[in-house]
């Protein structure tokens, strides 16, 4: 008897230009998972409405996210890749789950509190964001959901909502498990903080070469001179270099740091070259895909058609369970 593959669901918000923190923190893992199970990856355009982006900006960001993922190795033959909003059943399921979700559960959400503390204008979409996320997860009967540690609470809330539904009506939803990669460290930005658009310290995956080099060369370091030995473990340039370099290359650069007569300018140039080499095949693939925008739309359309088949079956059962139709 053939063992069924686990169904793995990942969502990515089209919130702006993707950077290397996005790549090493989520994208790379999502692409590798397509070899591990039945994978679904959606572009969470409904989630992005919580900050009311301009319509033209949102459409462009969705297109860009799709382009970047395909360029970086996402295989639409192995992963159902689609726009969240193309599956309208998710809005119906969100309402049904909203009616089962206590206010106290949502009021405990760390993410909502953090966003309000940072000056986000509160709205009901932002407040009930975890319910839409639960609908995304439960709609596709997902077994595993890759999440960062900052999103783990939302996954736990999705589990609570699924259990509440199953106890209230019938055992219908799979109870999802978090898939947290302990090997993925916080990706440092150019200033040493976590790489984030809100800190303005990002390096784009597909930055124009001249602009990328300028970013790398402007990374702040201490004031040690060329001749002085340096500590690679406390240097942001070296921490970024480790993302792109082999173990042998890392050891070689670390030895140069400690020996002296190796300046930060040399290290930054090596980092820039490693970055360009790493993403070179993906840059080539992206340039090819840009010439064929209809292919990207066709991939998303086909992915949505297949995902909708799963969603329709789930909603048929949900409607019957709650007494609709």
- How wide is the angle at C-alpha 214 spanned by C-alphas 196 and 256, nearest 5°? 90
How many other CB atoms are there within 10 angstroms of residue 111's CB atom?
A: 15
Q: For residue 187, how far is the Cα from the chain centroid?
A: 13
Concerning whether 197 is annotated as a catalytic residue, the answer is: yes
Concerning whether 291 is annotated as a catalytic residue, the answer is: no
Spot the catalytic one: 6, 63, 78, 194.
194
Q: Which of 271, 273, 234, 232 is nearest to 255 (CA)?
A: 232
**Alpha-helical segments (H) within 245-263:** 247-259
Q: Is the pTM of this model over 0.85?
A: yes
Distance linking the first and last C-alpha atoms of the chain: 37
Using alpha carbons, list the distances in angstroms from residue 184 to 33, 61, 241.
14, 25, 15
The pLDDT tens digits for 135-161 are 999 999 999 999 877 778 999 999 999
Concerning whether 194 is annotated as a catalytic residue, the answer is: yes
Spot the catalytic one: 78, 197, 224, 242.
197
Q: Which of 100, 101, 44 is nearest to 69 (CA)?
A: 44
The pLDDT tens digits for 112-139 are 998 898 888 889 999 999 999 999 999 9
Can you say whether residue 260 is alpha, beta or left, with left for phi > 0 and alpha for psi between -120 and 50 degrees?
A: left
Q: How confident is the model over 169-195, as a mean pLDDT?
A: 86
């Amino acid at each position: 008897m053939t063992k069924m593959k686990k169904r793995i669901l990942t969502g990515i918000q089209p919130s702006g230009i993707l950077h290397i923190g996005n790549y090493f923190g989520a994208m790379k893992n999502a692409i590798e998972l397509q070899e591990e199970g039945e994978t679904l990856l959606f572009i969470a355009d409904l989630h992005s409405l919580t900050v009311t982006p301009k319509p033209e900006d949102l459409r462009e960001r969705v297109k860009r996210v799709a382009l970047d993922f395909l360029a970086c190795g996402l295989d639409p033959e192995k992963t159902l890749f689609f726009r969240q909003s193309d599956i309208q059943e998710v809005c119906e399921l969100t309402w049904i789950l909203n009616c089962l979700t206590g206010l106290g559960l949502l009021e405990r959400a760390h993410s909502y509190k953090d966003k309000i503390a940072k000056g986000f204008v509160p709205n009901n979409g932002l407040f009930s964001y975890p319910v839409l996320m639960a609908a995304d997860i439960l709609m596709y009967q997902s077994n595993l959901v890759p999440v960062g540690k900052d999103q783990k609470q939302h996954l736990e809330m999705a589990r609570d909502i699924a259990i509440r539904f199953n106890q209230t009506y019938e055992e219908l939803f799979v109870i999802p498990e978090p898939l947290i990669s302990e090997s993925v460290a916080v990706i440092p930005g150019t200033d040493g903080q976590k790489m984030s658009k809100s800190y303005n310290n990002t390096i784009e995956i597909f930055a124009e070469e001249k602009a990328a080099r300028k970013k790398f060369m402007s990374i702040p370091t201490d004031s040690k001179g060329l001749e002085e030995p340096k500590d690679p473990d406390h240097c942001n340039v070296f921490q970024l270099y480790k993302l792109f370099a082999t173990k042998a290359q890392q050891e070689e650069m670390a030895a140069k740091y400690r020996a002296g007569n190796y300046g930060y300018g040399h290290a930054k140039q090596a980092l820039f070259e490693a970055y360009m080499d790493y993403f070179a095949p993906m840059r080539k693939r992206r340039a090819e895909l840009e010439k064929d925008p209809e292919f990207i739309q066709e991939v998303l359309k086909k992915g949505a058609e297949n995902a909708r088949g799963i969603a329709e079956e789930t909603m048929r059962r949900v409607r019957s369970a709650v007494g609709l139709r």
